Amino acid sequence: MNISELVSSLADHMHISDVKAGLRFVTITGEIHEPCNQNINLMRDKVKDEGYTPFFETNTESQDSRHRLKIGLFSLRKVKQRFWLNWLLLGITIVTTTVAGSIWYGADLLSNPLLIYKGLPFAGALLLILGSHELGHYFACRYYKMQATPPFFIPFLPFIGWMSGAQWVLAPSFGTMGAVIRMGITPNRRALIRVGAAGPIVGFLVAIPVTIFGLALSSYQAPEAAGGLMFSEPLIFKGLMWLVDIFRQVKPQTGEILHIHPIALAGWLGYLVTSLNLLPLSQLDGGHIAYGILGKKRIWLAIGTYGLMAAAIAYTFFAYSQPSMWLIWGVLTLILGFKHPPSEDEITPLSRGDIILAVLSLVILVLTVMPVPIH
C-alpha cells in the first residue's frame, strides 16, 4: 500500500488529528487508543511491513493530541555480521593479552619467549570479564529482538619497549582496549535501559570471583620490594581485599602494600572498564541508561559528569604531577558527540524494574570508579 493508505489504516489504532508530509518523514499527531502499548506494537508492525521506519513520541505541544508518530520514509540498514572479523580480533587479542600478562607476571620474554604461557591466566581472566560484559549486551539485544553483532575485541600493544644502556626494557600494557558490539535501533526506552545495564551488571558480577581468586594469589610486600606502578583501589576492590585478608594465613604487616597477581589485575581492569562505560555520556552504557531515564534532559547530567572529570584531571596533575586518563576519555566521548539516537517508541512509560536497574547501575559506578586509577 502507498503512504496514504498506510496512514488511513493506522486510524484503527489512533485518533488522527493532523498529518504533515515532508521529504523524509510523514508526521501524524493524535491520540493512540488504549491499551496504548498494544496499539503501538500493532502500528509498528504495519509501518515496518511496508518498508518504513516508525518513531513514536510524546507531543508536548498539545494536550488534545498527546502522541506523535513520525514515519521515516526509509528503512534502516541491517547490522552487518562479520563473524570472521569477530574471530580474527579475538585471536589477536588472546595473543596480545597473553604477552602482556606474561610481562606483568615477571617473565623475561627477551631471554626466553617460551615463558609467554605465564600470561594465559591474565588473558583468560580479562577476556572472560570483557566477553561477559559484551555478551550481556548481546543476549539482551536478542531478547528484545534487536539486531546486534557478537563482541569485537580490540587488541592493543602488549608492551612498550625502549633501550636502557645496552639492554631492551619492556613495560607491560594491558594488550587490549576492551570490546564492543554493534546494535540496531532499540524498540523503546525500557529496552534501552535493560540492554545498557545488562553488560556492566554481568561483567561486574563475573569480575568479583575473578578478583577474589586473584587476590588470594597476591601477597603483601614492603613498599621498596613492590616498586612499579601504584593502582588505586575502587570501593569494591577494597571490600574484596578486606574479605580475602580475613582468611589469609599470613597477615599483612603495618606499612606493607599488596603486590597483586595478574589475575587480580584483570579483575581490577574489569572494574575500570565498567566504570568508564557507566559514565552517562554519549553512547556509552551509562549514556544509554541516562537517555532511557531522562530522555533529552540527560544533557545536564552529562555536563555535570564532565565537570567531575575536569576536577579529577586537575587533582591528578597537582597531586601527582602526571596527566590523567580522564582527559583522554573525556576527549573520546566528546568526539562521539552529545547526541543519542532515539528509540522507536518513546511513549511507553518506564516500569519500576527499569528504575531499579538504573539505580543498580549507579551503585556499580560508585563501587568501581577511581579518580586516579594509576599513579
Predicted pLDDT of residue 224: 64
Predicted pLDDT of residue 148: 95
Co-location of 253 and 275 in the same domain:
yes
CATH number of the domain encompassing residue 62:
3.90.1070
The structural domain count of the chain equals 2
Query: Which domain covers residue 116, as residue numbers?
Result: 83-368
Predicted pLDDT of residue 130: 97
Co-location of 240 and 299 in the same domain:
yes
- The total of other beta-carbon atoms located within 10 Å of residue 278's CB is 27
Note the pLDDT tens digit of each residue in 278-287: 999 988 999 9
Q: What share of the chain is helix, strand, coil (3-state, %, to 5)?
A: 55, 15, 30
In a domain, 345, yes or no: yes
Predicted pLDDT of residue 141: 95
Co-location of 117 and 30 in the same domain:
no
Q: How far apart are CA 152 and CA 351, in angstroms?
A: 32
Co-location of 32 and 135 in the same domain:
no
Q: How far is CA 343 from CA 97, 288, 296, 346, in A?
A: 36, 10, 12, 6
Residue for cell digits 546486534?
148
Co-location of 176 and 288 in the same domain:
yes
Predicted pLDDT of residue 166: 60
Co-location of 108 and 62 in the same domain:
no
Co-location of 107 and 54 in the same domain:
no
Note the pLDDT tens digit of each residue in 6-64: 999 999 999 999 999 988 999 999 999 999 999 999 999 999 999 999 999 998 887 77
Co-location of 209 and 67 in the same domain:
no
- Low-confidence residues of the chain: pLDDT under 70: 161-170, 224-228
In a domain, 78, yes or no: no
Predicted pLDDT of residue 168: 61
pTM summary value: 0.90
